[in-house]
Amino acid sequence: MPIQVKRLLVVFAVFIGVMLGLKYFLTPESWREFGPYRGKALTEIADQEAKYVQMETCAMCHDSIADLKDQGLHISIQCEICHGPGYRHVEDENIDMVIPENSDFCMTCHAINAARSTSIIKQIDAIEHSEGEDCISCHNPHEPWL
36-53 pLDDT, tens per residue? 888 888 888 888 876 788
- Residue 12 is predicted with a pLDDT of 97
CATH of the domain at 58: 1.10.287
Q: In which domain, by residue range, is 34 found?
A: 3-47
Higher pLDDT, 16 or 35: 16
- Residue 26 is predicted with a pLDDT of 92
Tell whether 146 and 104 lie within a shared domain: yes
Tell whether 145 and 105 lie within a shared domain: yes
Q: Identify the H or E element spanning 7.
A: helix 3-26
Q: What's the DSSP call for residue 80? A: H
Tell whether 92 and 114 lie within a shared domain: no
- Residue 17 is predicted with a pLDDT of 97
| Number of structural domains found in the chain | 3
Quick one: average pLDDT of 105-121?
Answer: 82
Tell whether 85 and 112 lie within a shared domain: no
Global pTM?
0.56
Q: Do residues 127 and 134 lie in contact, with contact meaning Cβ atoms separated by under 8 Å?
A: no
Average of per-residue pLDDT values in the chain: 85
- pLDDT band (50, 70, 90) for residue 9: very high
Tell whether 39 and 70 lie within a shared domain: no
pLDDT at 20 over 90: yes
Tell whether 104 and 146 lie within a shared domain: yes
User: Whole-angstrom Cα distance, residue 35 to residue 93?
Assistant: 44
pLDDT at 88 over 90: no
Tell whether 116 and 133 lie within a shared domain: yes
No. of helices (H) and no. of strands (E), the chain: 8, 0
- Residue 146 is predicted with a pLDDT of 56
